[in-house]
Amino acid sequence: MKVYQISFSPTGGTKKAADILTGALNGETEVIDLTNAHGNFGSVALTKEDIAVIAVPSYGGRVPGTATERLAKVHGNGARAVLVCVYGNRAYEDTLVEMLDTARQAGFNVIAAVAAIAEHSIARQFAAGRPDAEDSKVLAGFAAQIQAKITAGDTSEPALPGNRPYKKSGGAGMVPKATRDCVGCGICAKECPVGAIDAQDPKKVNGNVCISCMRCVAVCPHSARKVNPVMMTAACVQQDDYAIMKPDNSCGCHLIFWKYIEVCRWLIIENCPGMRLTENYLIGLSATRW
Ligand SMILES: Cc1cc2nc3c(=O)[nH]c(=O)nc-3n(C[C@H](O)[C@H](O)[C@H](O)COP(=O)(O)O)c2cc1C
Ligand code: SF4
Ligand code: SF4
């Protein structure tokens, strides 16, 4: 019996959670990396005796399409599967039921499912540093319960939260771009899970192919790949409560004010087209919780 860890983890948070769970299960581990753009996933075949820890991040409350496509190619052959949905502390909505459906279609017998929080890969101030020591303890506790279920030979499928049809999937639409600090080393192109970055000229990126996974931002050794700050503000807004207000300033721009305004003060200043919002103006607002 082997324990297969089958994960899609562009920036490592999902893998961290999967590692904690996989490491606590009995059996030799084999890792299948679904972010490998050149992976031959159709050649991965498990047996009925095997266990699979299938881990994906939630993107907009859904399984990333690339992960679904690649997982669907694996041959589960009746292996028992533990699903791990990892999210950035907003919500995971229909991710688990979509994972369940995909895993079933690939021939897995789902016996357990876990939702875990990891640092938000776009807005990294959310759930920063997680999974942390406290999360590790909780995950280890889940792993012990799952191992007990395996040992008892209980193959019942758990009831999972989520809706069918799933919520509409929408791309984050954020395509990180190379900045002037880019030295053209090509690491981002090599690491991109979908081959969206031109290997010969990493400044070129195919926005239609990019899945906004942020791996290129995470792996760049020169911090030279960035998301447009306006798009980033929009992502933060999705993440948290917000208010749109028209500030009393002469350029009259409408800006989106985030709930904890002090955190994104710099973004607001940077993006006010008339540059009329001053630090003082914002400090005046920062006492207000929206
Ligand atoms: C395109 C995209 C969409 C995301 N959507 C959500 C979401 O709907 N809810 C949430 O809580 N976190 C969301 N996140 C955060 C990720 O689920 C979370 O950071 C996860 O740990 C990323 O996995 P990774 O570190 O393995 O790449 C999103 C991240 C990305 C890149
Ligand atoms: S990893 Fe960074 S420095 Fe290297 S090519 Fe990509 S953006 Fe440029
Ligand atoms: S170009 Fe897009 S898909 Fe490729 S690593 Fe960067 S964010 Fe992910």
Q: Is 122 in the pocket of ligand 1 (CB under 6 A)?
A: yes
Cα of 205 from ligand 2 centre, angstroms: 12
Cα of 208 from ligand 2 centre, angstroms: 20
Segment 28-68, tens digit of pLDDT: 999 999 999 999 999 999 999 999 999 999 999 999 999 99
Q: Is 182 in the pocket of ligand 2 (CB under 6 A)?
A: yes
Q: Is 12 in the pocket of ligand 1 (CB under 6 A)?
A: yes
Pick the CATH number of 171-227 from 3.30.70.20, 3.20.20.30, 3.40.309.10, 3.20.20.450: 3.30.70.20
> For ligand 2, atom 4, which residue shows the shortest CA distance?
185
Tell which wins on pLDDT, 112 or 288: 112
Q: Is 215 in the pocket of ligand 1 (CB under 6 A)?
A: no
Lowest mean pLDDT across 88-97, 191-200, 244-253: 244-253
Two domains, one topology: 2-151 and 171-227: no
Segment 134-178, tens digit of pLDDT: 999 999 999 999 999 999 999 999 999 999 999 998 766 789 999
Q: Where are the domains of the chain?
A: 2-151, 171-227, 240-290
Segment 56-113, tens digit of pLDDT: 999 999 999 999 999 999 999 999 999 999 999 888 999 999 999 999 999 999 999 9
Cα of 229 from ligand 2 centre, angstroms: 19
Is the per-residue pLDDT at 278 higher than 70?
A: no
State residue 127's pLDDT score.
86
State residue 268's pLDDT score.
47
> Among 44, 57, 71, 76, which residue's Cα sits nearest to residue 17?
57
- The vertex-188 CA angle with 119 and 85, nearest 5°, equals 30
**What CA–CA distance (Å, rounded) separates 149 from 144?**
9
* Ligand (nearest to CA of 15): 1
Cα of 57 from ligand 1 centre, angstroms: 6
**What CA–CA distance (Å, rounded) separates 223 from 230?**
18
Report pTM: 0.86
Take residue 124 and report the two structure tokens written for it.
């990294």
Question: Hey, how many other C-beta atoms are within 10 angstroms of the C-beta on 198?
Answer: 14
Segment 116-141, tens digit of pLDDT: 999 999 888 788 899 999 999 999 99
Please give the share of the chain, as a percent, with pLDDT higher than 90: 71
State residue 27's pLDDT score.
93
Q: Is 66 in the pocket of ligand 3 (CB under 6 A)?
A: no
* Ligand (nearest to CA of 212): 3
Cα of 195 from ligand 3 centre, angstroms: 8
- The answer to whether 226 and 176 have CB atoms below 8 angstroms apart is yes
Q: Are strands 51-57 and 80-87 parallel, antiparallel or unpaired?
A: parallel
Q: Could you confirm whether domain 2-151 is CATH 3.40.50.360? A: yes
